Amino acid sequence: MAMACRRVLKHGVIPRDSAQVIGIRSFAIASKAKKGGKGGADVAKTPVLSKELKTTTVFGANILKEGSDPKLQPDSEYPEWLWHLLDKCPMLSELRRKDAKTLPYEDLKRFVKLVNRARIKEQNALTAKN
């Protein structure tokens, strides 16, 4: 039994007999649905949304049990920073090619962060080998 526990911890594989002894629940294999039941094919019906409703409402954004999904507002109603969230940030290799004295503050901050992260990864790789 001790060998089985060691194997579980080492490889993450739980043999069936060990799972019963330890008391681990597993998922049952789902059975295949019956074909051709009474009344024809059972096709899952998805609700059809109108095109107008699709363009005015954010579906799935309601996190409350009750209530409705929020309505879309005109672009002028949203803050300016929202439109820059998906802008591409320069990578470390691009920032290294540029002169650090001419970089804007945000890019300089990103450069320092990425250099520190690369240095930490390198140190971790060196200590892991020893």
Question: Cβ distance 118 to 95 under 8 Å?
Answer: no
The CA–CA distances, whole Å, from 117 to 2, 61, 80, 89, 127 equal: 41, 34, 30, 16, 15
Taking the C-alpha atoms of residue 47 and residue 53, their distance in angstroms, rounded to an integer, is: 12
- Predicted pLDDT at 80: 92
Quick one: average pLDDT of 34-43? 54
What total of structural domains would you count in the chain? 1
pLDDT of 84 higher than 70:
yes
DSSP 8-state secondary structure symbol assigned to residue 107: H
Residue 11 located in a structural domain: no
Query: 101: domain range?
Result: 89-128
- pLDDT category, 28, cuts 50, 70, 90? low
Residue 26 located in a structural domain: no
Residue 14 located in a structural domain: no
Residue 98 located in a structural domain: yes
Quick one: average pLDDT of 94-115? 91
The position carrying tokens 């970089």 is: 103
Taking the C-alpha atoms of residue 93 and residue 118, their distance in angstroms, rounded to an integer, is: 11
